[in-house]
Chain A
Amino acid sequence: MSTASDITTSEPTAPGVMSRASMLVCVAAIVLVVALFAGPRYGLLLLIGLGFGLALEGFRFGFTGPWRRMILARDPSGLIAQLVCIGIVAMAAFPLLAANGAELKGAHAPIGMAMIGGAFVFGACMQLVLGCGSGTLINAGSGNAVGAVALPFFAIGSFAGAYHLSWWTSLGSLPMMTLSGTDGLMVTLAGLVALAGLAFLLRAKGTFHMPARYVGAIVVLAGLAILHLVVAGQPWGVVYGLGLWVAKGVVAVGGDLSGSTFWAAPANAAQVEASLLTDITSLTDLGLIGGAALVAWWRAGLASPAGKLPARAWLAVIVAGLVLGYSSRLAFGCNIGAFFSGIGTGSAHGWVWFVAAFAGSWAGIRLRPYLGLEARR
C-alpha cells in the first residue's frame, strides 16, 4: 500500500523552448536527408505526411470517434466535418483530374462483393481498436498501446489481403464507375450535402457544434490532401504502404512472392525491390506516425500511463488489427484511400464503402463490451 510520502505526483511538464527547437531541427534534417538522398518529391511527401499527423493529432480529429458519436449519441458534428473536408478536396481534385488526366489519377476502384464485405468488416474492426487506417497510425505514434499493438498486425493483414486480392475480386465486381468533370463534381457535392443533411436531421437535440479545431482540421487536411494529389500524382492513401513493409520482410527472410498475382505484378514487384523512401504511401504513413508523436511530445502527453486491458481484449486487438489490414485491401482502401480520397476524386466505390463501413461500425460498437474492450451498458 502506498502512502503519501512515497507517492510522487508531478504534473507532466511541456518541453522547453530549446528542446522544441532542437526537435524541429531534427525533423527538418530528416526531411532534408530524404529529399537529398531519395529525391525532392519524396522529401516533400514525408513533409506532407508529417502535416497529416500534426493536423489529425493536433486538432484531435479522426474518423472512428465521430462515427461512434453519430451512432451512440446522434452527434453528427465530426461526420459533417469529414464530409465538408471531402467536399473541399473534390472541388479541387475534379478539375485537376479533368485537365491533367495524363499526370494525375484518382482513387478509383470497382464495386464488388468482396469490396462491400471488406468495407463492412473494416468498419466493425475500426470500432474494436478505435482506430481506422490513419487512426491506427496516429494512435501508435501518440503512445496509445492499442494502436501500437494493432499496427504490426494491420500491416500483416494488409500484405495478406493484397496477396489474395485477385481471388477475392474474382468473386464478382461491377465495371469501374467514376464521376468526373463538372457534372461529376455537382453529383458528388450534392451527395455530400444530402448525407450531411441526413446526419443533421438525425441529430439529438443540442449535439451539433462545429468547434474551431474541426474548422482547423477541415482546412489543413483538405489543403494537404490537394497538395498530395499535386505532388504524388495520386490521392492520399494508407494501407498499401503497410502491406509493402511486410512484403519486404517476407523477401528479406527468403520468402517467394511469385505465387501472388498482386505482389508478382511488375509494378508491385519493382516497389518491393525499391527503397521504402520512394514509396508514396510509406512516406506519408511514416509522416503520420512521426507527426502524431511530435504533437503528443510537444503537449507533454506522453507522460500518462499507457493503459491496461484484460488478456482477451489484447487478443481482440490483435485479431482486429489483422482483419483491419486484410479487409482494407479487399475494400480497395480504408477510410482514407476509399472514403476520403475515393469520394473526393469521383469513385463510386467510395460511396458504397461508406455505407458498408458505417453499417459495420454499428456492429463493431455493439461487439466491444463482449470482447472486454468496454463495460457493458
Chain B
Amino acid sequence: MRRVHVTLLVGLGLTGVLVLDHVQSQPLNPFTAPPVLALGSGMAPTGAHCAAPAPGQ
C-alpha cells in the first residue's frame, strides 16, 4: 500500500461523513449566515470550541 491509497481512503471517509451530514442535517441557508468577519459584526461569538467549559460550569 502506498501513501496515495491512504490519502484516498481518508478522502473517501470524509466524503462519506459529509454526505451523511448533508442527508441528516438542516438544509444550508446562506441568507441566514453570519457576516464574513466576526470582528465588527456586533454579534456575540457563537461557535463551539474545545476550550469551552462544560455546560453549567
Residues of B1-52 at the interface with A, using a CB-CB cut-off of 8 Å, are 1-7, 9-11, 13-14, 17-18, 20-28, 30, 33-52
User: A interface, by DSSP: helix, strand, loop or mixed?
Assistant: helix
One of B30, B33, B45 near A234 (C-beta < 8 A): B45
Stretch from A63-71, A76-84, A196-204, A277-285 forming part of the interface with B = A277-285
Q: Are B54 and A262 in contact (CB under 8 A)?
A: yes
* Distance between B18 CB and nearest chain A CB, rounded to angstroms: 7
Q: Is A321 an interface residue (CB 8 A)?
A: no
* Distance between A73 CB and nearest chain B CB, rounded to angstroms: 27
Which chain A residue lies CB-closest to B16?
A: A249
* Distance between B43 CB and nearest chain A CB, rounded to angstroms: 7
Chain A residues contacting B23 (CB-CB under 8 Å) are: 252
Q: Are B10 and A271 in contact (CB under 8 A)?
A: no
* A280 to B45 alpha-carbon distance, docked (Å): 11
Chain B residues contacting A281 (CB-CB under 8 Å) are: 47-50
* Distance between B35 CB and nearest chain A CB, rounded to angstroms: 7
Which chain B residue lies CB-closest to A266?
A: B55
Chain A residues contacting B6 (CB-CB under 8 Å) are: 140, 143-145, 148, 306
Q: Are A233 and B39 in contact (CB under 8 A)?
A: yes
Q: Are A279 and B47 in contact (CB under 8 A)?
A: yes
* Distance between A256 CB and nearest chain B CB, rounded to angstroms: 15
Q: What size tier do the contact residues of chain B reach?
A: 35 or more
Q: Is A259 an interface residue (CB 8 A)?
A: no
Of B23, B24, B50, B57, most A-chain CB atoms within 10 Å: B50
* A37 to B21 alpha-carbon distance, docked (Å): 14
Chain A residues contacting B45 (CB-CB under 8 Å) are: 103-105, 232-234
Interface size on A, residues (CB 8 A): 86
A-B contacts counted at CB < 8 A amount to: 212
One of B18, B36, B56 near A41 (C-beta < 8 A): B36
One of B3, B33, B46, B56 near A42 (C-beta < 8 A): B33
* A106 to B41 alpha-carbon distance, docked (Å): 17
* A293 to B20 alpha-carbon distance, docked (Å): 22
* A301 to B52 alpha-carbon distance, docked (Å): 37
Q: Are A109 and B2 in contact (CB under 8 A)?
A: no
Q: Are A251 and B24 in contact (CB under 8 A)?
A: yes
Q: Are B25 and A274 in contact (CB under 8 A)?
A: yes
Q: Are A103 and B39 in contact (CB under 8 A)?
A: yes
* Distance between B23 CB and nearest chain A CB, rounded to angstroms: 8
Q: Is A21 an interface residue (CB 8 A)?
A: no
Knowing A142-B3, A302-B4, the reply to whether A233 touches B47 (Cβ < 8 A) is yes
Q: Are B1 and A145 in contact (CB under 8 A)?
A: yes
Knowing A38-B33, A103-B42, A305-B1, the reply to whether A237 touches B55 (Cβ < 8 A) is no
Q: Are A103 and B22 in contact (CB under 8 A)?
A: no
Q: Are A245 and B17 in contact (CB under 8 A)?
A: yes
* A208 to B15 alpha-carbon distance, docked (Å): 42
* A276 to B26 alpha-carbon distance, docked (Å): 10
Between A and B, 16 residue pairs with Cβ closer than 8 Å are A40-B30, A40-B36, A104-B38, A143-B5, A230-B37, A234-B49, A245-B17, A252-B20, A261-B54, A261-B55, A273-B25, A276-B17, A297-B7, A302-B4, A304-B3, A347-B51
Please list the 3 inter-chain residue pairs (A to B) with the smallest Cβ-Cβ separation, ordered nearest first. Answer: A39-B33, A143-B3, A233-B38
A residues at B contact (CB < 8 Å): 36-42, 44, 96, 100, 102-105, 107-110, 140-145, 148, 151-152, 165-166, 169, 173, 176, 229-235, 237-240, 244-245, 248-249, 251-252, 261-262, 265, 267-268, 271, 273-281, 286, 289, 293, 296-297, 301-306, 328-329, 332-334, 337-338, 341-342, 347, 349
With contacts A237-B50, A301-B3 known, what are 18 further pairs, Cβ within 8 A? A41-B35, A41-B36, A102-B42, A148-B10, A166-B55, A230-B39, A234-B49, A240-B49, A244-B48, A252-B20, A265-B55, A276-B25, A280-B49, A293-B7, A302-B4, A302-B7, A341-B51, A342-B51
